[in-house]
Structures are given as C-alpha cells and as structure tokens.
Structure 1
Amino acid sequence: MNDCILVLNCGSSSIKFALFNTPLPHQRTPLWSGKADGITGSAPTFSVSGQATENLSFETDAPYHEALVRIRDYTVNRLGNNRLVAVAHRVVHGGAKYSAPVQVDHQVLADLRSYIPLAPLHQPFALDAIESLLHAQPGLTQIVCFDTAFHHTLPRVEKMLPIPYPAWERGVQRYGFHGLSYEYMSVVLPERYGDLARGNTIVAHLGSGASLCAMRGLRSMATTMGFSALDGLMMGTRCGSLDPGVLLYMMETEELSPQQLGHVLYHESGLYGVSGISADPRALIAVEHDNPRAFDALALYVRRIVREIGALAAVLGGLDMLVFTAGIGEHNDELRRRICDALQFLGLTLHDQANRTNQGHAALISSSRSRVAVAVEPTNEEWMAASLSQPLLPMTSLYCNVV
C-alpha cells in the first residue's frame, strides 16, 4: 500500500490535478493527472492523461464545487489499495506572513482570504477548494504552497515601492509570482546544465499570465510581477505595468469604480484588449498580416518582454542563460524567435531548426556561437507542490472517503 498526495491547481475556470506517490519517486511524472476545464462556460470538460475528454454537465448553480466533487470522486475510485494522505494546493499569494508551505487550519484560511484583493483571478478559487475539503473531510491534511514564496530572497531594494514609507510597513511591497514554476526551474536546470544554470539566468514564464525571474545561484534576485499579478509583462488579458496616471485618467474620464477598473485591467486588456480578437497569440499570428491591431498587439507583447529582459540582465550584471517555459514559452517557436532576434545585442543567437522543431520538450535552442545559452524547459508546478509538501505530510494517516 502506497501513500499518495493529490495536488490541486485551481484557476478561475479550470482545475488541474495530479496524484503522486509519496515519498516522491525520482521520476517526476504523476500516477495520473488531469484537468476540469471551462467550468464556468457553456461547454465544461473533464480530461485525464491518456483518456478521452468527457463533457461535463452540472446540475446546480455551483459548477466549481461540482467540478471539485468530480475530481475527488475520480481520485477515490482509482486509489485502490493506496491511501490519500494529503492534498496540496497551489495558492498564488501568501502575503508577507507566509514564505514556506504550511498546513491549513482555520486561521491560515482566514489569513489567505485577506489576500484575495491582491490576486482576485486565482486566490478565491484555491481557497474555495480548500474550504470545501475542510468541511467535507476535516481530518484530511491540506497543505498550501505559495507562488510568492520563491521570491522571499529578493533584495530589500527589489521589494520596496516608491510610495510613502508607512505603506511598506503595512506590507505593501513587491512580492513576485509564478514561484512554483521558478522553483521547479531551480531544481531541474542545474540537473541539465550544471554550473551554467547557477550563473546569471533569466526564466521567462510565458502563459496566459506571464512574468520573468532573474536568478543568480538559483535564487530569485528580481522579477517583473510585483504587488499583484497585474504587474510587469503584457499578458493574455492583463495589462502589465502601466503609468499610474493612466488609471487616474480612466477613473475620472470614464467614471469607473475601482471594481470596474479592475475588470478592465484583469479581463479586457493585454493581447485581447489591444487586438480586439483574442488573448491567444496563435490566433493573432494567423491574422497579423491582414489585421493591424493583431500586428500591434504582438509587437507590443514582444517589445515588453524584450525590454524587461534587458532590464533584468542589467540588474544581474550580465546574462548567461535564458529559459522559456509555460504554455507560450514552451510551444510558440515564432514568439521565441522574435524575442531572441531582438536580444542579439546580448550576443544571443538561436539555432533556427532547433527552435522551430521544439514544441514543449526540454532542449537547448541556441546556436553554438551564442554567448548566451537559450533553452526550453517544461514547467512542473504540480510536482513542485508535491515535493515542497513532503516534509509536512502526516507520519500515519487513516484513509477517508472524500465526498
């Protein structure tokens, strides 16, 4: 009989899940993994690796809860003689209080709810999942792993904001996000590339949300996201960094409430907002030659990434390695090419064929003459959450059916 840990990665309209044996084997693949997708839309689906995708039909006005029940039932039915000893959750924001994984209790849950305004796209849904399990199975160990935790090594000067000092004392600071992805990079990159990865490395986590992390000695030294997940790079529907004067102007001239402005910045900006077509760069690349707004959206997206890579290289004092990860970073060779072409001043050159043929596999895609190594490395946030949770797992556990 093996003990198992279930990892839940909850977003606003999808829940990724993966089950791992514990202690974790050397191989980083789960026993199974899957996704409930489009939960709040008209055609939700449920998929598990190696199996056909199912259409979901929700019978109540609480589809997110029903999707969680579906995942729990599926897990219970496939456990066999194994024991589920814990559930680990990816939680975006741990605030100033939490810089390491922690076991959930009611006080932790209350603390994390107070951070919802800092990550409204993600925090509420992870906490709803935690609370649902806490009520259904109070004896089941739950552990939260924070996307902000990896960045606790940021120098003080990187954390501070140029606003009145009492705000800093209240915890208004730059936190950084996508930490589980970056922490996984800090594990896997030295395994593949040795001391090269321990030098000046920038990791580009490019997905629907996007950020960069400048690492030295495998530690976070600077990052593009700050106080909230709106900061930094232009994203699918999020704006990234903006002149605060723009926000004041929009609120005054368009008479927007804070809630309305937040909706614009989180849901109506980025690639979608500029193009008016899609948040998916693949859709924009397909029409950019005939659609000026699609062309502009992609050009701005690339420019913002290039600008921030240049800034982080300056902070590091040079660049030894650039790594692309997450959905766009791993799979969109055209955007990787455009970004790298604009970074040739750093002595960076791609191997064109290696870049074109790589789709989501770990590989070095720079040419032999490049002074900067360029790599693609698939992220593995679920394994990272399971790994970080191991020290907090109960020594013994009675298996309980999950409702």
Structure 2
Amino acid sequence: MNILVINSGSSSLKYQLFQMPSKSPVCSGLAERIGIDGSFIKHTVYIKGEKHITEQTSFIANHSDGLKQILQLLTVGEFAVIASPDDIAAVGHRVVHGGEHFSGATVIDNEVKAQIKKLFSLAPLHNPVNYKCIEVAEETFPSAKQIAVFDTAFHQSLPAEAYRYAIPESYYKEHGIRVYGFHGTSHKYVSEQAIAYLNKPESKIITIHLGNGCSMAAIKNGKSIDASMGFGPLSGLIMGTRSGDIDPSVIFHLMEHAGFTLEQLGALLNKQSGLLGVGGSSDMRDIRKLLGEGNDSAKLALELYAYRIKKFIGAYAAVLNGIDAIVFTAGVGENDTAMRQAVCKDLSYLGISMDDDKNLKYKGEILAINEPDSRVKILVIPTNEEYEISSQCFELLKV
C-alpha cells in the first residue's frame, strides 16, 4: 500500500512515500525556506540501498507552490516513483490543531475540513497551510484516501491539572479553552524510540522538539503529562517567528497605549517575534552566521532561546519527580550542536552532564551524548513524524 505523507510546517514541507508496512521510505524530501530567499527542495529516491538525490533551487512562493513542485518530482523523470496519481492509496496529512474533536487519525471529508477551518484562529501559521495542502492533494490524487493525523492527539493524556487554565469553567465547557499541546507525532515517535533505547517502559523523559516551531513535553511511562504549547502553538518556547510565553499584560498595554488591533497583535506575536524579532532572522542558521559576524542581537536571541528551554527542563523535572532522559530532536535539536551544549550547561544539579566530544559526533542516528557518570541520559534522536503518520494511516485503513 503506497502512502504519501505530507508534513507542512510554517516555512517547510517535508514528505515521504512509504510502501507500507515497510518502515523504509521509497523516497523522501524537504522543501525549505518557503516564502524566503534561498528556497530549495532536496528530493531523495532510495533504490537498492543507494540514494539518488535531486536538488531544486527555484523560488517557492508558498506551500501550494511547493507541493506542486514536489508532485512533479514524484511523477516525472528518470527516478519517478509513481506512474500516475492512482498509484497512491492514501495521502496522510499532518494537521496541527484538532481541538477536542479529534483524538486519532481521521479520514478527511467535508465535515472534517470544516472543523479544521474552524480551528484556523488557534493555529494561524499551520492549519491554513495544512488545509491548503489537503485541497491540492485532493485535486492531484482524486482516488486516494485523504487522512488527517493531528498534532494534538498524543497530548490527550494530559491530566486536568496540566490542561486546565485558571479561568471560570464555563470557558472550558463552552469554548474549549484548555491546553492541547502540539508536535504530538514527533513527541510520540521520539519518546517511544527513547523508551526502547533505555529499555525502560516505566520512564521519565523530557522531549525537546526544536525547529521553526518549538515545543517540549514531559512524558511519563510513555504518556504525555505536560506540554509547553497550550491552547494554540504560540506559547512556551521561543521559536522562529513566535514569541512563546509572554505576559498577557503586554497585550493589554499595546492595545490601550499603542493602538494595536487584534490583527496587528496576532501578526506581532506569531509572525514578527521569536528569533526573527530579536535576532533578525527566523532561521537558526542565519542567526549563527550573524553571531559569527559579531551581531549582539543574534547573541541575545540565542541566549534567550536556550534560557527558556532550561526553564522548562527544570519545571518538567519537578512535574516528573526526576528524569531518566532528555531528548533533542527536529531541525535545530538534531543539527545545532552549540544549542544542545548551551541548553545542557550548568544543569549538573539535575544530573545532566554532556560529553562535548560525543555531542559533536552526532551523524543522524540515535546517540547518547552524556558523560558516562551522568545520571540523566542526553539523547539525540532523529524524529520521523512522516513514518509515524504513515503508520497511523495504515492502521486506520486496515480496520
């Protein structure tokens, strides 16, 4: 069964084609810097253990444009992997916000699409993009099942003391205002990999997903019990363009004294803040380049970014009553050795001690980068949200 997985982030679009139930993809790829100068697609086809890589550097205006370019790579040329759209049995879509409507993989119909649209305001950088990719995929693969896998599903195990806000209950019951948590497919996948690595089903793990969007989760015995993102994917850590946690009084102040509208506030906190607002770019690689040029704003952005992660590690150590492992994953978590080092610095009181040489040796496979006597394992685990989504789609279609 051929399942194409589409995982669209705020400035990226990852994809993989699986011939399920095989875990090895037929092909995979990544469109990056969507809407930003320097856009590119790296497309890899796997044939008998060999990688055949195509790199495309044409500008990608938006996610719809990116998906159309990707579909061209799938169907045309020497390394085409499908003869026609009919070869795809299902397209699995990562959808960021499912509210309380969805707790598992769901076949997309008009009602599901309507619910996804209703949640646009809660995930303004993602749900509209996810929805657009669904529409493009429906046109391109008309005979395939379109299936949504929601980021919020894994965090449905949060206890009430973690997901409720201290506001009148009516706002929860009537408007669904609560913590939902996000990046659920990634946190689920890497925590399961960590549990298997530790050979410890009853474990206390903190997963740290660092990309353009960033989040952390406290995971006890394989279940999420707290998450840094809340009602929408704006809260918690500092991100590429999102502010993360901010005192609500700032919002009131800007409305009253600077004349900000709700639309302007939304743009400020979702699209103009984070690394971009402090350091001048939403891309960590650009921030590192600016740092090398002696840019003080870039230095501050990196310090704020690491500091916020450290705060959550401390909070989750308390929630879990100890830690067996912390896990770094996603684009920044897997590739930025200096950020991992900055986060783990001065955490010896928690039993976290990094081996700097091991930290530099990570090459894409699961690796422990802690000192031998560190009480807490420091793991770098490549996330595979696409396989997790494909697996959930496959299980749904088998029923």
How high is the TM-score relative to the length of structure 2? 0.90
1:45 aligns with 2:40: yes
- Asked if structure 1 preserves the Cα contact closer than 8 Å seen for 2:43 and 2:73, the reply is no
- Asked if structure 2 preserves the Cα contact closer than 8 Å seen for 1:306 and 1:342, the reply is no
**Counterpart residue number, 1:71:** 70
1:211 aligns with 2:215: yes
Report the CA distance between 1:64 and its aligned residue.
4.0
5+ residue gaps, structure 2, are 45-51
Distance across 1 between alignment mates of 2:62 and 2:229: 31
Report the CA distance between 1:245 and its aligned residue.
0.1
The 5 Å alignment of 1:293-308 reads: 293-308=297-312
5+ residue gaps, structure 1, are 396-403
Distance across 2 between alignment mates of 1:44 and 1:284: 17
Deviates more, 1:379-388 or 1:155-164: 155-164
The 5 Å alignment of 1:173-252 reads: 173-195=178-200, 198-252=202-256
Deviates more, 1:205-214 or 1:132-141: 132-141
Report the CA distance between 1:283 and its aligned residue.
3.9
3-state DSSP class of the match of 1:393? helix
3-state DSSP class of the match of 1:31? strand
C-alpha distance 43-256 of structure 1, shift in aligned 2 (>3 A): same
Q: Which residue of 278, 282, 285 corresponds with 2:281?
A: 278
Deviates more, 1:293-302 or 1:133-142: 133-142
**Counterpart residue number, 1:32:** 27
- Asked if structure 1 preserves the Cα contact closer than 8 Å seen for 2:37 and 2:59, the reply is no
C-alpha distance 45-330 of structure 1, shift in aligned 2 (>3 A): closer
- Asked if structure 2 preserves the Cα contact closer than 8 Å seen for 1:101 and 1:143, the reply is yes
Deviates more, 1:109-118 or 1:77-86: 77-86
1:54 aligns with 2:59: no
**Counterpart residue number, 2:7:** 9
How high is the TM-score relative to the length of structure 1? 0.89
C-alpha distance 188-162 of structure 1, shift in aligned 2 (>3 A): same
Distance across 2 between alignment mates of 1:333 and 1:136: 40
The 5 Å alignment of 1:218-367 reads: 218-275=222-279, 277-288=280-291, 290-367=294-371
One-letter code of the match for 1:316?
L
1:149 aligns with 2:148: no
One-letter code of the match for 1:330?
E
3-state DSSP class of the match of 2:299? helix
C-alpha distance 52-211 of structure 1, shift in aligned 2 (>3 A): same
- Asked if structure 2 preserves the Cα contact closer than 8 Å seen for 1:330 and 1:361, the reply is no
The one-character-per-residue Cα deviations of 1:125-178 (angstroms, maximum 9, x if unpaired) are 111121233355543211100110000000011110112221111211100001
The 5 Å alignment of 1:61-100 reads: 64-76=63-75, 77-80=80-83, 83-100=87-104
Distance across 1 between alignment mates of 2:72 and 2:275: 37
- Asked if structure 2 preserves the Cα contact closer than 8 Å seen for 1:143 and 1:392, the reply is no
Report the CA distance between 1:369 and its aligned residue.
0.9
Distance across 2 between alignment mates of 1:136 and 1:326: 29
Distance across 2 between alignment mates of 1:223 and 1:141: 31
- Asked if structure 2 preserves the Cα contact closer than 8 Å seen for 1:332 and 1:359, the reply is no
Distance across 2 between alignment mates of 1:45 and 1:280: 14
**Number of aligned positions between the proteins:** 385
3-state DSSP class of the match of 2:225? strand
Distance across 1 between alignment mates of 2:131 and 2:290: 39
Report the CA distance between 1:373 and its aligned residue.
0.9
